[in-house]
Amino acid sequence: MFFSSSPKPGRSFLSRISPFADRQSLRIIKDIAVRYAMSIGGISVIAAILLIFIYLVYEVIPLFESAKLEQIVSYEVPQSSDGKTLAYSVDEYTDIAVRYTSHGDAIFFRTADGELVDNVSIPIPANVQITAFAKGQPQSGVVAFGLSDGTAILTKHLFLVSYPNDIRSITPKLEFLLDSKPVVLFPNSLPVKKLAVQSDADSTTVVGWTPGQDLSLQRFERKESFLDDSVLLEQAESRIPINLDSVEYLLLDKEQRILYAADAEGVLIQYDIKDLNDAEIRQRLPVVEKGHRLTSLEFLTGDLSLLVGESDGTISQWFSVRGEDNREELSKIRVFDELKHVTAIVGEYSRKGFLAADETGDVGIFHTTAHQTLTVDPVAAFGINFLAIAPRGDAFLAESLDGYVHFWDIENQHPEISWSALWQEVWYESYSKPDFVWQSSAADNDFEPKFSLTPLAFGTLKAAFYAMLVAIPIAIFGAIYTAYFMAPGLRRVVKPAIEIMEALPTVILGFLAGLWLAPALETHLPGTFSLLLILPLGLLCFAYSWQLLPIAVRNYVPDGWQPLLLIPVVFLLGWLSFAISAPIEELFFSGDMRRWLTHDLGVAFDQRNSIVVGIAMGFAVIPTIFSIAEDAVFSVPKHLTFGSLALGATPWQTMARVVILTASPGIFSAVMIGLGRAVGETMIVLMATGNTPVMDFSIFEGMRTLAANIAVEMPESEVSSTHYRVLFLAALVLFAFTFLVNTFAELVRHRLRQRYSSL
């Protein structure tokens, strides 16, 4: 049969090649589609990272905004004809305020316009005048009036909140303490010139002074009767020598244990009155510079610190510091000097901030922990002599010398944050020296938040350092041997086996490290350190012994399969190290190495320490570094290896001078990616460490990392609070650190590639 090769009638050349053309067109379409898909995917990844960065910055920016003051209204002093002002106080919602007067009136008025709400008079006996006035802790609302007959009357203002018809209504009320009975401070009817008062649910203490007399202290403690559940008042009194010519300021802390008295020259005396029968002077010292006068003395919230205002505008913070002799002494901690001749100071109710006014009518907002002046604004044309801040710190009242009340709004969300508070040593209340501390919450409302990110950053780097110390030698040397020396058949088993370790959840590693590895290492601590010496020496001895064997014996093991012989050797050496742990501990450490470290060397020991973190995180990071480094070494062109060997170089010389140099960009990338993994690790450091933010590089101490801190505290933080935003700032720091490390790694990798690409 014959077949004709000539084209059939009516069939063109293009129609005969159309199947090929269709396949070519389809391939082009697929290439274009894949190219666009890869481009879109890459752009999407970059956009997602950029959006994460933008969102972190968006949450962090409010932390660094300055405070803002805005005037709401000014009006004449309410009921100015009822006497001079003694003090102001504002309710929580800034709707109602109270003005205490020298005629013994409590005038409640609306802050929005000064409209009178109520006027309550203090029951003062006839022919008796008010000669002194004192306020207790602002939260309590307690005030005391000192009278010319030597007595004092204690009252307490309340702002009762109700919601009739779902509309907030505030009803002011004035209560009298101690069953409305005056407190007799000076039985001989001498006028009370200075007064201090504090009252809580258990006790009330009143302190009075008049010229030429000692300090008079009266304490009333509430005792419950076991018979009829009635409440009895037990009274105690005491007299304390004043040791001052004149008293201008008298302050009593909320615990009713420490009393301060000061004169106009700034000489301050601190008394311990915890036991009225054994009251004593703790300290006497000047708190203002020579030539200056003391113009204001107030407590900072918590009553641990004193705020001292001077005639030159300086405001200093003082609190007790425990010295080397274990004695507490008042010390000047920090100074603010943005005002002129301080006339009034008032502390915030729940934060370590305060407001201060001067004789020019300026009002400044300050924060002690952050040591920053948030703003100083002109509030009045005349000097200000009274200040009152709202309980939430969002508004204040100021009375100026021209007889006007100024009501201002405060926008001051995050005063605790400054560069020094985040990254530098801060001298916190009750601390003996400045320190880096992270402590974001406590049970007490007077707590001083400590938001130092330094110990968290330190802990992050410390955990990464010990993890890389374990991971880099094992992963890099293992990768080089696997790619260059190991038999191909064994490599096809070892490489996937190590890479699959990366799929192991880190929470499992953290669980095992915290509950099994940490106790095991503590029990066999000498064995752990013995392993570091016994294992390398044992492997070297085994390798040397192997070389001494006859060649016929060594040939039974194919070339490149020798690592299998090390498996039982490693297990044997590990068992030996832990088997001799107890005898070593008994012989050199009196049977307890942990106790020896703590008591003899003074080294603190934490069960979940850096050793545990290094081993656990190193185990997690090894697969990442090994896989990338092994691929880099294995991808070195074979002609380079063969050329080096052909020129007479040994395999070790070829590996050291050709293979590693050529693969160095990939090896460096492996290390940097492993470092990024270690820095961002959360669950292992969360479960395998003491999770304590301490600044100690000791291998026996734990740490807290940025990532672990975010995981622990984010669920507990209030949305948009300072704590919440500082956690976002920690995330931004972690993000920036990872970005900078990766950028640096890419630059170095590019430089290495250019340098060794000609090999």
pLDDT of residue 343: 94
pLDDT band, very low/low/confident/very high, at 226 (cuts 50, 70, 90) = low
pLDDT of residue 2: 43
How many other CB atoms are there within 10 angstroms of residue 340's CB atom? 15
User: How far from the centroid of its chain's Cα atoms is residue 27's Cα?
Assistant: 58
Backbone angles phi, psi at 446, to 5 degrees: -85, 10
State both tokens at 45.
């990844």
Helical residues (DSSP H) of 427-486, grouped into ranges: 454-484
- What pLDDT digit, counting tens, does each position of 40-58 carry? 988 998 999 999 999 999 9
pLDDT of residue 209: 93
Q: Which domains does the chain have, with CATH numbers?
A: 122-286 (no CATH), 460-719+745-756 (1.10.3720)
Percent residues over pLDDT 90 in the chain: 54
pLDDT for residue 4 is more than 50: no
pLDDT band, very low/low/confident/very high, at 30 (cuts 50, 70, 90) = confident
pLDDT band, very low/low/confident/very high, at 757 (cuts 50, 70, 90) = low
Tell me the HSE value of 611 on the side-chain side, using a 13 A CA sphere: 17
Report d(CA 266, CA 291) in Å as an integer.
Answer: 10
pLDDT of residue 324: 76
pLDDT band, very low/low/confident/very high, at 291 (cuts 50, 70, 90) = confident
Query: Would you say 399 and 92 are in contact if contact means Cβ atoms under 8 Å apart?
Result: no
User: How far from the centroid of its chain's Cα atoms is residue 403's Cα?
Assistant: 44
Tell me the HSE value of 672 on the side-chain side, using a 13 A CA sphere: 19
pLDDT of residue 15: 52
Collect all residues with Cβ–Cβ distance below 8 Å to 504 and sequence separation of at least 6.
Answer: 620
List strand residue ranges (DSSP E) for 294-369, in order: 294-299, 305-310, 315-322, 328-336, 342-347, 353-358, 362-367
Percent residues over pLDDT 70 in the chain: 95
pLDDT for residue 11 is more than 80: no
Report d(CA 709, CA 451) in Å as an integer.
Answer: 12
Choice among 228-237, 268-277, 523-532, 712-721 with the minimum mean pLDDT: 228-237
Please choose, from the candidates 258, 662, 697, 268, the residue with its C-alpha nearest in 3D space to the C-alpha of residue 465. Answer: 697
Query: Would you say 455 and 693 are in contact if contact means Cβ atoms under 8 Å apart?
Result: yes
Choice among 128-132, 187-191, 411-415 with the minimum mean pLDDT: 187-191
Alpha-carbon torsion angle 42, 43, 48, 50, nearest 10: 120
List residues bridging with 285 in a β-sheet.
Answer: 268
Report d(CA 363, CA 383) in Å as an integer.
Answer: 10
pLDDT for residue 17 is more than 60: no
Choice among 229-233, 633-637, 694-698 with the minimum mean pLDDT: 229-233
State both tokens at 255.
């615990």
- What pLDDT digit, counting tens, does each position of 157-210 carry? 999 999 998 899 999 999 999 888 899 999 888 999 999 999 988 899 999 999
pLDDT of residue 224: 73
State both tokens at 13.
């050349």
Report d(CA 518, CA 610) in Å as an integer.
Answer: 10
Query: Which 3-state string (H, E, C) describes 203-236?
Result: EEEEEEECCCCCEEEEEEEEEECCCCCCEEEEEE
Collect all residues with Cβ–Cβ distance below 8 Å to 583 and sequence separation of at least 6.
Answer: none
Query: Would you say 219 and 235 are in contact if contact means Cβ atoms under 8 Å apart?
Result: yes
pLDDT band, very low/low/confident/very high, at 156 (cuts 50, 70, 90) = very high
State both tokens at 518.
């940490």
Which residue reads 């570091």 in tokens?
532
Question: What value does the mean pLDDT of the chain take?
Answer: 89
- What pLDDT digit, counting tens, does each position of 647-704 carry? 888 888 888 888 888 888 889 889 988 998 899 888 898 888 878 888 888 888 888 9
List residues bridging with 373 in a β-sheet.
Answer: 366
Report d(CA 719, CA 447) in Å as an integer.
Answer: 19
pLDDT for residue 12 is more than 70: no
pLDDT of residue 317: 96
Query: Would you say 206 and 197 are in contact if contact means Cβ atoms under 8 Å apart?
Result: yes
Collect all residues with Cβ–Cβ distance below 8 Å to 717 and sequence separation of at least 6.
Answer: 440, 723, 724, 727
Tell me if residue 517 falls in helix, strand or coil: helix
pLDDT band, very low/low/confident/very high, at 443 (cuts 50, 70, 90) = low
Which range among 236-245, 353-362, 517-526, 584-593 has the greatest average pLDDT? Answer: 353-362
pLDDT of residue 334: 94
pLDDT band, very low/low/confident/very high, at 1 (cuts 50, 70, 90) = very low
pTM of the model: 0.87
Query: CA of 107: how far to CAs of 89, 111, 121, 390, in Å?
Result: 10, 12, 8, 17
Report d(CA 412, CA 394) in Å as an integer.
Answer: 7
